[in-house]
Structure 1
């Protein structure tokens, strides 16, 4: 009998944290029959493709051999959490026993900048974004959900599509090449998100909330890329032109005319050594590396491993 969880992904936009590790001993492993994911395209396994058309080749090339709804060369973090399965519809009794994952923030914050908001205006939008997140969690709770695994947002000031499209001063670039103002906003969002999760714990003491510091994992990977077997941490693997191998006008899998010839935008020679896939999303190799850092609870509050995420924090 298949005992692995099924992944059900919902795509939507919801307009450094240090933890004191407390030993979590004697907790049994949880048996989640399903995993329901809510998040942007960093964790979307097909919602965006279903709504707007399949992600084109070379997406999916490193694992599936063809596009599989994901904006990456292969699997996402959520895939490593649950695996890939054939069953599409959950059984009714899955809902209270499932793991609910959230991966939010990047689209909400960057869309503000791209629409012309100042940094102060983007920061001012954070409470509204988190209010919508709270409402979403509340609705899931009232439908029976009890186990929540919540990722904070990553260092979007290190992403090619942000570095290419938004202007920063030389003094605002850190030693890695990331834009400090945008990463500062990401960290402000994450501090407020953690406060929101703490409040949810108080409001819903019967539920288990695990806050996961994705930011620290991703920034560490970018900052020490060579140490972990990666190169060109700020350049897209699948892209075309410019400092960051990213072109807003033509994305991964698109076609560009060069000297009168149609050229398909394809992937780099070895995606397994690259962190960024298409300027926006991470490669399968980077997603797997991040998953390996978070699965044991080392970057979680409380420090509970993924397999024990059904357990509430002891007070």
Structure 2
């Protein structure tokens, strides 16, 4: 089996350095031209570069604040662990883009990284290491691996489900409000800062269901339908709280087609392919459940739009975007979209957890799933493209800048 192919060495912040290097080289080449021509061209090119740089960084959003779980965690969970052991803190995690583990649960960049880069911003730092002193001039990521939308105490009296998530949406919002009080004290300063910011709410809520689906097999999966409305309501309440604080543009993503996730497929083998699986090999019931969650979330976003006409709420259809490479994997250079790149043996490569002792089955760019539960950088790039440029967002994110919509 071929070893994983990796990109050239990159690190957070290196994109800007390489761009500056390219500009220096450009100026060096022009200096060999006749003086009168080169002087004019240097001035024209320099002005154009400055204008483009200003548009990319300052002409849209000045910062991004994001909340969620492992889908967009950029290092908060790794920080919580400290010096404790974790497979997420070592290669092959991070092998494709950073060439080192960064706390992202993928081989490279995650969704929020692609959004930041497309909008001309640096990659978002995890909030936890700098929470007490960082100025977060270009934003921060509050998402934490394993987070739930509802607090764990919600589930015990209602469903006898005990869970211990590393964080919750409530805790992330509390941390965010603490940071806001420090970097933008006062109502006017806070609202001014948030009016220039993009806020990303999720994806969040998936773990509220994962804890049930991957728990006691004897418990009926249909129970999740009972608390689905409360998950969606909690997400909606968080969005409303952010609007009350002063946020004006909020991206609200839905859930993925979890019936196509290798970890789900490996847990639910079936002897009735026609009944349980669709034409792509995904589990029908779980995909239907995701779609029900997404329909409820869309309705909640619509309700919040009506209630807050001054806010720009953008629903992101992660389900539809992910189904692009499930239905047409070859179009994106993906082999089997239902198997993990990093793991073990078995039909879905899930018989071993991804880590330093696991098997990497090939170039991650040829896979949609990284470790059986989370996606590869390649898959995230496809989803991000559909949100940035359409058609998988109410307003394509790249065209959502307040100046362009006013």
State the TM-score bracket (shorter-chain normalisation): 0.7 to 0.9
CA-to-aligned-CA distance 1:79-128 (integer Å, 9 cap, x gap):
00003448753243533321111212322222221234423211111111
Which of residues 376, 383, 388 is equivalent to 1:283? 376
**Match for residue 398 of structure 2 among 306, 311, 315:** 306
Equivalent of 2:255 in 145, 149, 153: 153
| TM-score normalised by the chain length of structure 1 | 0.80
Q: In 1, distance between residues paired with 2:359 and 2:95?
A: 10
Shift of 1:36: 1.1
Question: Aligned-pair distance for 1:267?
Answer: 2.2
Q: Is the 8 A contact 2:305 2:312 kept in 1?
A: yes
Note the aligned Cα RMSD (angstroms).
Answer: 2.5
Task: Report the alpha carbon displacement of residue 50 of structure 1 after superposing the two structures with TM.
Answer: 2.0
Distance 1:30 1:132, change over 3 A: farther
Q: Provide the TM-score with structure 2 as the length reference.
A: 0.63
In structure 2, runs of 5+ residues without a counterpart are: 1-12, 16-57, 126-133, 137-182, 185-191
For residues 8-157 of structure 1, the aligned pairs below 5 Å read 31-52=60-81, 55=88, 56-83=90-117, 84-85=122-123, 89-90=135-136, 91-92=183-184, 94-102=193-201, 103-116=203-216, 117-157=219-259
Deviations 1:276-315 (A, max 9, x none): 10001111111111111221132222x344341548999x
Counterpart CA distance in 2 for 1:80 and 1:167 is 34
Which residue of the partner structure matches residue 259 of structure 1?
none
Check conservation: 1:155, 1:183, Cα contact below 8 A.
Answer: yes
Shift of 1:266: 3.8
- Name structure 1 gaps, 5 residues minimum: 5-28, 255-263
- 3-state DSSP class of the match of 1:300? coil
Hey, which of these two has a bigger chunk of strand by percent?
Answer: 1
> For residue 207 of structure 1, what is the aligned residue in structure 2?
311
* CA drift at 1:30: 5.8
Larger relative contact order, structure 1 or 2 (CA cutoff 8 Å, min sep 6): 1
The structure with the greater share of residues assigned to helix is 2
Give the total of aligned pairs.
276
Match of 2:349 among 226, 242, 245: 245
Which range moves more in the overlay, 205-214 or 165-174?
165-174
Q: Residues 4-41 of structure 1, C-alpha deviation per residue, up to 9 Å, x if partnerless?
A: 9xxxxxxxxxxxxxxxxxxxxxxxx9621111111121
Q: Deviations over 1:140-178 (max 9, x none)?
A: 122221110111111011111111123544221112111
User: Are the structure 2 counterparts of residues 112 and 276 from structure 1 closer, same or farther at C-alpha, using a change threshold of 3 Å?
Assistant: same
Q: 1:311 and 1:52, CA in 2 relative to 1: closer, same or farther beyond 3 A?
A: farther
